[in-house]
Structure 1
Amino acid sequence: MAAQKKRSTRGATLNAESRRFNLPQSEADGDWLDLREDIDGAAPPVGTTVLIEHPRTIISRNTSPDVPFDRSINAYRGCEHGCIYCFARPSHAFHDLSPGLDFETRLFAKPDAADLLKAELRKPGYACAPIAMGTNTDPYQPIEREWQITRALLEVLAACDHPVVITTKSDRVVRDLDLLAPMAAKRQVAVAISITSLDPRIAMTVEPRAPTPARRLAAVRTLSDAGVPVYVNMAPVIPAITDHEVEAVVATAADAGALGVSYIPVRLPWEVAPLFRAWLDTHFPDRAGKVMATIQSLRGGKDNDPGFFSRMRGQGVWAELLRTRFRIARAKHGFSDDRRRLNLDCSRFRPPAGAQGELF
């Protein structure tokens, strides 16, 4: 494949269409809005637009044995951080949009999210369990500064003492310390910050519009100092690009006050694989073959392994070596295991008050 022209402020190097779902041409149910203000990083050559989405519900359910939660909320579709490896990219294909540049430039916002959450939490049959935020797209991506949908959701959860687990690669999370610190005091929140590399040059290439590693580490320290349980995810680990930093990431996370460090080997489902290959040809042509050969060695000879359990851990010699390195690094810095039990408290939950107050 010929090398693609570099786009320094975006992740994907191409915008190939996906017709995997064979959907008919759909009509827009809202207007695309141009974002004219400055956002994290330099102004991109491809502008960011946002479509208003009005879903019927906001809590998504899952029964996957690979994840430690059964419900999640995503305030946005698509993600401006532009991480080339993002496993959520294929979800844009369902909207007849490209998992490439469209995923990081044509976003969806759900301004009704907080009201929808209140309605779902009021349902008589609702049973409280921690809600995960940031499992598909980042709740603190740059457009959160303008839309503040994530903050509105946290305000609802805080008001009714509902536990939440937040995953992000943005230091913008500390903006909401006024909500997070009191929730932490009641064991109702935990935060995981993704740090894939400590090298700002690598981070800028892999995650072009995410905050720098230094800013993310500062957020870990700020959250820790405020009493908020905070963890670091080295997710994903990319062979021959970031895997040499395993021990350094674990050590730096410990110094910043993280309670634990987890990891996931890079995953390349569906349309992510060709996008990743094109990105390698552009940014790392000297090692593209080595990267893909190693990925295939831990994915059973393929670009991706979708199987439960193995998809998060990998298989083979390279996967075992990675597990060993993390185990040794964690032990060295006092981390007992992959994920310390969060033990978030669900006993305080009370449904949001209805239109008539607490009478109904």
Structure 2
Amino acid sequence: MSVQEPSRQETATASKSPGSLSIERCTGEQASKLFYSWALSEHWNPSTNGEDIKEVFHKADPQGFFFGKIHENGKDETVSIISGVRYGEDQAWIGFYIASPNHRGRGYGLETFRQALEHVGHDRASVGLDGVMAQVDNYKKSGFTEIGWQNERRHGSITGLVENSERDLVEKIAKGEFPGLVLLQDDQVDLDQLPGIEERFSGLKRPGFVKDWALFHAHHPEQHRFGVAFLSTDGTKDEKRGKPIVLGYGCVRPAVSSYRVGPLYATTPEIAKLLLVKLASEVILAEKSKPCGVSLQFDVDVPNSNKEAIKIFDDLGWNDTFPCLRMWKGKVPKHDVNGVFAVGTLEVG
């Protein structure tokens, strides 16, 4: 679905009840500041300065970011935020659902949530969200009754990965023993293959977002964002463009308290580990050149139904620090979770 940036801040068509609540759409600049600061206050570990919100998330659906405000004691106060991002004609994603702690229990959050559902459309075949465990029952009451999988946030040391547990693999990568392992900006990487990989493994159909997300990571190494891919080396080529087949790819970005990996898709666990270690190596090199002040830790949100992925992180000794449930209103998109070693984001899918 093609959507346009609103020419001005628009008041959404939601009811003004409860109380004096009004719900408005955010511009990209508003969203990057407001959604980042609120995610930070909730300890969600958002990407540095909300750059992904402004440059990629909001662009995916410029009409899908909302905030609720009330007028009390002679002034306006923001009391809720949410995003409802439409992907094509039949999918959407609900995220950034936060109500102000000072105003919870007054119905403002729920009314804003309803506005996001209204925006994405009640006839949409699949609407997803990643719900914290404490809110699962509430999401079910709102129609999110189908379960895709449960995510585990695995947390571990980048330095430990590179210098200890996978030191031999790091040395082999440095020696060029895996010629298919390249950075996303390599000329041999066919970015047009990436949306099909995501649809195959996660079920999400959003080609524009996938390519924007890849470019967001691939072309700003000075900001410590990286993308890597693993290409076929047996001469197999894509029929349309004549480039090697992409067998997996992954991205990493600095956040407030760690580096966040996502997505990490691969046809085999061996390729997934290579991609993970390559991302870690790129981060270490960047940090040695110019530290960016982010803790040298990885956070990886991985489906626990992918047993091979869980084994990788179990073997590394990386613990689960934050579980959440991938839930759907409507049907769960067809997917192969065994290729998902890290989801793209919890915020927009």
The verdict on a shared fold, with TM-score over 0.5 as the criterion, is no
Larger strand proportion of the pair = 2
TM-score using structure 1 length: 0.28
